[in-house]
């Protein structure tokens, strides 16, 4: 998505070759590129093509391909990547939100949007307090260390 072979550049850096000593065919040194769009790459796991295979993902799991969504916003790029991978995105249900203190304001805004779309909000204690104070209905769920019912 940047027009540069970043994996090769990174491998050479790990082998001790400095960026200033790496040039492409046109004599350009690798440099930061900030495209005017977002790109999201997604692995494709066609479990229906492997009957009898355990679909639980593990470090050894291999995808059979990948797709990329590109758009002017991260959300739209993410959506395109999921559609391209054949994922069915939920239109209803519950969403678990649990974030650190510095992210609570943004989490509240996201919770409001998800609630407006019809999703139920479930959150751990601190996050639930912030979301509830903002007037969004929220169901409390414990972290594992805080007893049952918990997030697992």
Span 3-56, pLDDT tens digits: 778 889 899 999 999 988 998 888 888 888 888 999 999 988 766 666 666 666
- Indicate the pTM of the whole model: 0.62
Instruction: Give the H or E element holding residue 96.
Output: strand 94-97
pLDDT bucket at 140, cuts 50 / 70 / 90: very high
CB 78, CB 59: distance < 8 Å: no
Span 102-125, pLDDT tens digits: 999 999 999 999 999 999 999 999
Span 17-28, pLDDT tens digits: 998 899 888 888
CA torsion 23→26→28→33, rounded to 10°?
Answer: -110
Q: Which of residues 151 and 137 earns the better pLDDT score?
A: 137
3-state secondary structure of 33: coil
Domain extent listing, the chain? 90-152
CA atoms 20, 25, 30, 31: torsion sign: positive
* 90-152 topology per CATH: Rossmann fold (3.40.50)
């Amino acid at each position: 998505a940047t027009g540069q072979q970043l994996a090769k550049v990174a491998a050479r850096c790990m082998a001790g070759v400095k960026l200033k000593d790496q040039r492409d065919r046109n004599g350009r040194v690798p440099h930061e590129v900030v495209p005017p769009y977002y790109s999201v790459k997604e692995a494709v796991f066609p479990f229906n093509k492997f009957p009898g295979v355990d679909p639980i993902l593990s470090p050894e799991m291999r995808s059979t391909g990948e797709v990329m969504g590109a758009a002017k916003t991260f959300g739209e790029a993410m959506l395109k990547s999921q559609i391209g991978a054949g994922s069915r995105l939920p239109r209803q249900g519950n969403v678990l939100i649990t974030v650190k203190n510095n992210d609570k304001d943004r989490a509240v805004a996201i919770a409001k949007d998800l609630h407006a779309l019809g999703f139920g909000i479930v959150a751990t204690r601190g996050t639930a307090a912030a979301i509830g104070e903002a007037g969004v209905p929220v169901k409390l769920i414990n972290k594992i260390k805080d007893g049952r019912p918990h997030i697992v």
